Amino acid sequence: MKWIFPEQNNTPLLPWLYKQRNIVDKKKFSNPSFDDLHDPFLMHDMDKAVSAIKDAIKNNKKIFIHGDFDVDGITATSIMWTFLYKELNANALPYIPNRFTEGYGLSEESIDAIIAEGGNLIITVDCGVKDIELVARYSDRISFIITDHHTIRSFNETDNIDHTKKVDNFSISSKALAVVHPQLNKDYPFKEICGAVVSWKVCSALNNSLGTGVNMQKYLSLAALGTVCDVMPLVNENRVIVKLGLSEIRNGDNLGLNALINIAKANKKSIESYHLGYILGPRLNASGRLGSAMDGVRLLTTNSSTFADELAVKLENLNMQRRELTVKYMQIADELISKMNPDNKMHVVVGDEWPEGILGLIAGKLTEKYRKPVIIGSRKEDFIKASARSTENFNIAEALKSSEEFLLRHGGHAQAAGLSLNSQNQQSFTDFITNYANKLISDHDTEKTFSIDAIANISEIDSDLIGQLNDLGPFGYMNQQPLIALRSALVKNHISMGKDKSHLKLFLVDNDNNSIECVGFGMMERFNSEILNDKSRSSAPLDIAGYLEINEWNGNQTVSLRIQEFRFAE
């Protein structure tokens, strides 16, 4: 693995990181406020959406909030329904399609079901912007307001399609009452927000227009959860939303979130963005992957602590099943990839009747392993549903658009997407998209590298420094926790930890005898084989890279570096 060090040139760690992350006003950056969020009315058609929703409420129209079955869709639905029903007393109901019978997003099945329930207005959240034909087909039977953040169709895709409206070079439905999307208005300052945030923006605009005085900050807990779980960049407005949202989670009274935190055995007061993405998010996602995503909505919106606890247990059990299935089918998919051409820059794997709810998880794990885009599909009779995940340097949504002659449906983001196709097109699609990837992805793109954010001296590391580093958070996509390297450090001592002695603890010192504790989880065996067994160099200095943290144990606090990589110093 190639280590890439910054050209820091002895600049102290904090000033270097501030410069690299373009932070000018450190105080404001560390303490963002609600006032830093952008005006929702700058978003395309927001005024029309607000007017149409107000009219629907005034005339007691039956409103359905149509979401999607991932965390972003669940949180977007929960925000919109709670605000309309509980704050504005609207005649509103939430609706999440069934992954297995209706598929993702708007569909004939979901619209027919809503019409059968007497729906007068569908407000989509986290879906709908591409469904121009579908909206037109049903617009004489039910009204639509589209709120979304996914890839929009370009105008040249729809030149010959009726009921389209051109905005810049985008094509949207002319039959919808409003289409609210951050990409559609050049005046909206930040485009990379998730469906839950768009939903929250609509509710905030309604709140402002009606003068109802609702504290909209309490909904940022759900908006933050959607942002992190949909892997939105934690910069600009998103960072503010997640920072404020984490505070709401730590101090708030959402019964469903509290029950989910308790069942996961997490510390509510210490919740960070990591917990949203890797602890709470997977449990919510499990409802849509293996059960009904409506359970996720019920959990996040209930007023009953007993019901919340019951649902949290249900989601916990589903998540355990999800883990077992993911391990099983990932091993199968990995074996199939091992037999494919290793020179290909993308892998497409299709199995017979694999569980659809875990396809994206498998694709994500294999993408991380191979540093290549991966598509994982499940074939049922003559039909294939698939999930795609990609690396940061390859836009999978654009790749699917280029191959849509072979597809029935597709949609998503640059790094995550869904698709469906007829089985007879599998080989043609695979050949086309693999060739497409081979042309655009270089060997350099797939090379495993290890990029260091900053180099530190042991002497400058203390609890104050770590506190200032943490002020750069919340951490996540595009705002990663700083990866810090200690160069040419000497190992004063090492011990193994854990019941199975698989964890490593190192005590490092520099030439001036400054010391620091480092912990490497699951790294003891590797340290033995790569460092200790090399008798000729076993006492040589090491380069160690990881994340600086403060560990608490039995009331004591210790400055520590959580090891990500180590090697003999070069």
User: From the CB of residue 407, how many other CB atoms can be counted at a distance below 10 Å?
Assistant: 18
Render 25-80 in DSSP notation, one character per residue.
-HHHHHS--GGGSPPGGGSTTHHHHHHHHHHHHHTT--EEEE--SSHHHHHHHHHH
Note the Cα 56 to chain centre separation in Å.
Answer: 33
Confidence label for 534 from pLDDT (cuts 50, 70 and 90): confident
Edge-to-edge strand list for the sheet holding 121-125: 92-95, 63-66, 121-125, 143-147, 178-180
- Answer yes or no: is pLDDT of 193 > 80: yes
Please, are residues 107 and 133 in contact by the beta-carbon 8 Å criterion?
A: no
- Answer yes or no: is pLDDT of 280 > 90: yes
Work out the average pLDDT over 191-216.
97
What are residue 284's phi and psi, to 5 degrees?
-65, -45
Work out the average pLDDT over 532-555.
88
Work out the average pLDDT over 530-548.
90
pLDDT, residue 267, reads 93
Please, are residues 49 and 65 in contact by the beta-carbon 8 Å criterion?
A: no
Render 14-35 in DSSP notation, one character per residue.
HHHHHHHTT---HHHHHS--GG
Please, are residues 178 and 45 in contact by the beta-carbon 8 Å criterion?
A: yes
Q: Which residue has the tokens 């520099």?
A: 510
10 Å CB burial of residue 384 (0-12, 13-18, 19+) is buried
Per-residue burial over 537-546, b = 16 or more CB atoms within 10 Å of its CB, e = otherwise: eeeebbbbbb
Q: Could you give the C-alpha distances from 155 to 146, 152, 522, in angstroms and in order?
A: 18, 9, 52
Note the Cα 319 to chain centre separation in Å.
Answer: 17
How far apart are alpha carbons 349 and 372 in whole angstroms?
A: 13
243-247, 371-375, 378-382, 536-540: least confident range: 536-540
Work out the average pLDDT over 120-141.
96
Please, are residues 37 and 484 in contact by the beta-carbon 8 Å criterion?
A: no
Work out the average pLDDT over 419-423.
95
Widest distance between CA atoms in the chain: 83
pLDDT, residue 307, reads 98
Please, are residues 455 and 561 in contact by the beta-carbon 8 Å criterion?
A: no
Note the Cα 460 to chain centre separation in Å.
Answer: 34
Domains and CATH numbers, the chain: 2-26+452-568 (2.40.50.140), 32-214 (3.90.1640.30), 340-446 (3.10.310.30)
Q: Which residue has the tokens 């779980």?
A: 229
- Give tens-digit pLDDT for 384-418: 999 999 998 899 999 999 999 999 989 888 889 99
- Give tens-digit pLDDT for 75-114: 999 999 999 999 999 999 999 998 878 878 899 999 999 9
- Give tens-digit pLDDT for 210-228: 999 999 999 999 999 999 9
How far apart are alpha carbons 386 and 68 in whole angstroms?
A: 16
pLDDT, residue 142, reads 98
Q: Provide, rounded to the nearest whole percent, the portion of the chain with pLDDT above 70.
A: 100
pLDDT, residue 570, reads 85
Provide the pairing of β-strand 484-497 with 503-509: antiparallel
End-to-end CA distance of the chain: 13
- Answer yes or no: is pLDDT of 254 > 90: yes
Q: Could you give the C-alpha distances from 256 to 74, 97, 119, 249, 286, in angstroms and in order?
A: 13, 21, 27, 11, 15
Work out the average pLDDT over 246-275.
96
Confidence label for 460 from pLDDT (cuts 50, 70 and 90): very high
Q: What is the token pair recorded at 460?
A: 């400058």
Amino acid at position 375, single letter: I
pLDDT, residue 392, reads 83
Confidence label for 537 from pLDDT (cuts 50, 70 and 90): confident
The pTM for the full model equals: 0.89
How far apart are alpha carbons 390 and 399 in whole angstroms?
A: 10
Q: Could you give the C-alpha distances from 95 to 61, 71, 105, 292, 293, in angstroms and in order?
A: 16, 14, 11, 11, 9
pLDDT, residue 415, reads 86
Render 502-555 in DSSP notation, one character per residue.
-EEEEEEE-TT--EEEEEETT-HHHHIIIIIT-TTTTTS-EEEEEEEEEEEETT
Provide the pairing of β-strand 2-4 with 63-66: unpaired
